[in-house]
Amino acid sequence: MTDDEVEPDRRARPLLTPRQIVVQVLGWLIGVSLLVLIIKGAIKQGDWQKLRDADPRLIAALLGCTIVSTLLNGSTFWITIQPLRRVRWRDMQCLNVVANMLNYAPVRLGAIARVIYHMRVDRLTLVQIGGWFGMIGLILGLGMGACLLATLVHNQLDWLWLAIVLAQMIVGAVVARSLVGISLISRHAQGVDKLLLNPPGLWGAVTFRLLDLAAYAGRMAAALAILEISLPLSQAVLLALVALAASLMPIGKVGFREYCVAALGARLNVDAANQGTWDQLALIESAGEALVFIPAGAVLLVWLRRRLLQSPRADSSPQS
């Protein structure tokens, strides 16, 4: 059966069912409740004078790491999509910023916006988009798992730690690449198998993801420095991994991340600060991302609307 025959049926299905919407809204409300608890703890026990007296270079580093992370994330999407469709790097960066901003909504609209954009503008099928997102998620999972295992095995950031991470990433990428050679997968992949078989896309994604994780750790280190909290760099990496993992929760971006970071921080070094300080840390690190995504994404909504209006209607079948 051709894509022209099956794709209209796929498009007729809603990207989110009413039940999924209800679950996401409830999750968002729980997240907001957790965020309120974190804010109350930070106001009651935190020392905000440290933030007021913070070195402007640390504030710049906090926001700068977010900008670097955003560019690396957008570059990951851009370099991996090339076997399916040639797209402009600038467009992928703009879409990435808008999607991150939309994820603050009660329903995580970022993924929905990406799917609609790539179906409408890039003429990709849902199978292609799903496989592409799956590849990106796989590389991200490999990176997070590699950093976590390396930290547990060797609790010191040095060349050995980096070697352990790189070895895991290389082995994981090679294994994933070999799996797509299976005929059953390639027969029904609608070209998605080309993503992992494309060396520039695969190894480019691995490189960008590792650098992205470093930017996350840099933002966490800047937040720690602002509050004058002394932690080993390996523990800062753990906090950054928790922040990233919690921000990917499908039921809400707000609240869960801050709660998890504050809870882990208090357990990593109980004597370093009171709970209010860890609450502050979670809020400052999260704000370092929100202060970039929300205003920039709001401005780029104009770009997204224009791109969607300039593209052919979604009822014409996408190309494979």
pLDDT in tens, 15-39: 778 888 899 999 999 999 999 999 9
- C-alpha distance from residue 177 to each of 56, 77, 187, 203 (Å): 45, 18, 15, 11
Vertex 103, ends 97 and 108: CA angle to 5°? 140
Q: What is the pLDDT of residue 249?
A: 82
**170/152 Cα distance (integer angstroms):** 19
Question: How many residues are present in the chain?
Answer: 320
**98/113 Cα distance (integer angstroms):** 8
Q: What is the pLDDT of residue 316?
A: 45
Q: In the Cβ-directed half-sphere of 163, how many Cα atoms lie within 13 Å?
A: 4
**74/231 Cα distance (integer angstroms):** 30
Q: What is the pLDDT of residue 253?
A: 80
3 neighbors 125 (Cβ within 8 angstroms): yes
pLDDT digits over 30-80, tens only?
A: 999 999 999 999 998 878 888 899 999 999 999 999 999 999 999 999 999
pLDDT category at 178 given cuts 50, 70, 90 is confident
Name, in order, each residue with C-beta under 8 angstroms of 57's C-beta and a sequence gap of 6 or more. Answer: none
Percentage of residues in the chain with pLDDT exceeding 90? Answer: 57
**283/277 Cα distance (integer angstroms):** 10
DSSP 69: H
**Least trusted range by pLDDT, from 113-127, 151-165, 265-279:** 265-279
